[in-house]
Amino acid sequence: MDKNKRWISIAICVLFVSNAFSIMANEKLIMKADENKVIATITYRGSYSSSLQPVVVITQPPDGAILNDSHLIVLGYASYEFGLNYWEWKWEWEGGYTGNSSYFPTAEYVEFKIEIWGLHPGWNKITVTFCSPYGGCGSDSVNVTYVPPDTQPPVVIITYPPDGSTFTEPNIRVVGYATDNVGIMQFGYIHEWEGGATGSSWYLELQPTYYPFEIPITLRDGWNIIKVEVSDVAGNNGKAEVIYTLNPLVRINLTIYDGLEGAGGGNEVAEDREESEGAFTVTNIQDTNGDSIRDKDQNPVIATYRGRDEVDLAKMVLWPPTGPGVKPDDDVTLVKSGPNKDAVKLWDTKVKDNEIRPTNPPDTWVFKVKDLPKTVWVEITEENPKNLKMRGITFTLSYSGARDIVCLTGIWSEVTDVKHDKSDKWDNTVWPDMQGNVRWLIDSAGGFGLRRFQVDGNWWHGNVIGIEFTVYPSGIGNISRICFDITRQIHYLDHYHIFIGVENKSEDWPNQVELPNDDTVNTDESDRPVNNHMYSVDRPRFLERRSNTRMIYSRNNFMEFMRVTFNGTHPRGETVQGSRCSDYYLWHAALTLVRNLSNPGNLTRIEREKHGINCVGSGHLLSIDPKPPWK
Give the whole-angstrom CA distance, residue 516 versus residue 508: 12
pLDDT of residue 608: 60
Q: pLDDT class for 387, splitting at 50, 70, 90? A: very high
Strand partners, 28: 41
How many angstroms separate the CA atoms of 620 and 430, rounded? 26
pLDDT band at 254 (very low <50, low <70, confident <90, very high): very high
35-39, 227-231, 327-331 — which is least confidently predicted?
35-39
Task: Note the Cα 26 to chain centre separation in Å.
Answer: 87
- The last residue of one of the domains, among 146, 165, 187, is 146
For the entire predicted model, the pTM comes to 0.65
Q: What's the whole-number mean pLDDT along residues 277-289? A: 97
Q: Indicate whether 429 and 544 sit together in one domain.
A: yes
Mean predicted confidence (pLDDT) in 457-476: 96
Range of the domain at 74: 55-146
19 pLDDT above the threshold of 60: no
Query: What is the full DSSP assignment across 232-246?
Result: ETTS-EEEEEEEEEE
By CB atoms closer than 10 A (0-12, 13-18, 19+), residue 219 is buried
Number of other residues whose CB lies within 10 A of the CB of residue 225: 14
Note the pLDDT tens digit of each residue in 568-615: 999 999 999 999 999 999 999 999 999 888 888 899 888 665 667 889
pLDDT at 601: 87
Give the mean model confidence (pLDDT) for residues 164-187.
Answer: 94
Containing H/E element for 15? Answer: strand 7-16
For strands 549-565 and 483-498, give the pairing: antiparallel
Q: Using CA atoms, how far apart are residues 608 and 595, in angstroms rounded to an integer?
A: 15
Does a structural domain hold residue 312? yes
With a cut of 50, say whether residue 24 has pLDDT above it. Answer: no
> How far is residue 259 CA from its own chain's centroid?
26
pLDDT of residue 630: 66
> Quick one: pLDDT at residue 629?
72
Q: What is the pLDDT of residue 268?
A: 98
Same domain for 61 and 126, yes or no, is: yes
Can you tell me the mean pLDDT for 194-218?
Answer: 95
Answer yes or no: are the C-beta atoms of 87 and 11 closer than 8 Å.
no
Are the C-beta atoms of 622 and 555 separated by less than 8 Å?
Answer: no
User: What is residue 2's predicted lDDT score, i.e. its pLDDT?
Assistant: 39
Specify the CATH number for the domain of residue 162. 2.60.40.650
In a domain, 22, yes or no: no
The per-residue pLDDT for range 53-105, each reduced to its tens digit, is: 899 999 999 999 999 889 999 999 999 999 999 999 999 999 999 999 999 99
Q: Which of 128, 134, 75 is nearest to 106 (CA)?
A: 134
Say if residue 270's pLDDT is above 70: yes
> Do residue 339 and residue 212 come from a single domain?
no
β-partners of residue 392 are none
Separation of alpha carbons 489 and 588, rounded Å: 11
Q: Is residue 473 included in any domain, yes or no? A: yes
522 and 493 in a common domain: yes
- Residues 447 and 520 reside in one and the same domain: yes
Mark whether 268 and 191 lie in a shared domain: no
Work out how many domains the chain is built from and give that number: 4
Indicate whether 545 belongs to any domain.
Answer: yes
Determine the average pLDDT of the residues in 508-536. Answer: 94
Same domain, 206 and 228: yes
Pick 474 or 35 by higher pLDDT. 474
What distance in Å separates the CA atoms of residue 151 and residue 426, rounded to the nearest whole number?
A: 89
Choose among 395, 286, 401, 388: nearest CA to 339. 388
What letter represents residue 401's amino acid? G
In a domain, 35, yes or no: no
- Domain assignment of residue 535, yes or no: yes
Q: Is the pLDDT of residue 503 over 60?
A: yes
- Tell me which of 358-362, 372-376, 485-489, 543-547 is least confident: 543-547
Task: Indicate whether 359 and 436 sit together in one domain.
Answer: no
End residue of a domain, out of 211, 229, 246 = 246
CB crowding 477-491: b at 16 or more within 10 Å, else e = bebeebbbbbbbbbb
Task: Calculate the CA dihedral of residues 180, 184, 187, 193 and round it to 10 degrees.
Answer: -20
Domain with residue 345: its CATH number is 2.60.40
- Is position 64 within any domain? yes
CA–CA gap between residue 529 and residue 524 (Å, rounded)? 14
More confident residue, 52 or 66: 66
Q: How confident is the model at residue 41 (pLDDT cuts 50, 70, 90)?
A: very low
Task: Name which of 627, 617, 383 is nearest 489 in CA terms.
Answer: 627
Residue at a domain's end among 89, 112, 146? 146
Distances, alpha carbon 98 to alpha carbons 6, 56, 124, 127, 128, in Å: 11, 20, 11, 11, 12
Number of CB atoms found within 10 A of residue 205's CB: 7
Whether 142 and 162 share a structural domain? no
Q: Is 64 left (phi over 0), alpha (psi -120 to 50) or beta?
A: left
Q: What is the 3-state secondary structure (H, E, C) of 284-303?
A: CCCCCCCCCCCHHHCCCCCC
Report the candidate in 588, 578, 583 with the shortest Cα–Cα distance to residue 554: 588
pLDDT in tens, 420-434: 999 999 999 999 999
Indicate the pLDDT class of residue 14, thresholds 50, 70 and 90: very low
Q: Are 312 and 212 in a shared domain?
A: no
The pLDDT assigned to 248 comes to 82
Q: Is the pLDDT of residue 233 over 90?
A: no
Kindly state whether residues 526 and 479 are assigned to the same domain: yes
- At 594, phi and psi to the nearest 5? -130, 165
pLDDT at 627 over 50: yes
Residue 42 domain-assigned? Answer: no
Question: What's the CA angle centered on 280, arms 279 and 281, to 5 degrees?
Answer: 135
Judged against a pLDDT cut of 60, whether residue 12 lies above it is answered with: no
> Rounded CA gap, 613 and 319, in Å?
63
Segment 190-211 mean pLDDT: 95
Are residues 362 and 229 part of one domain? no
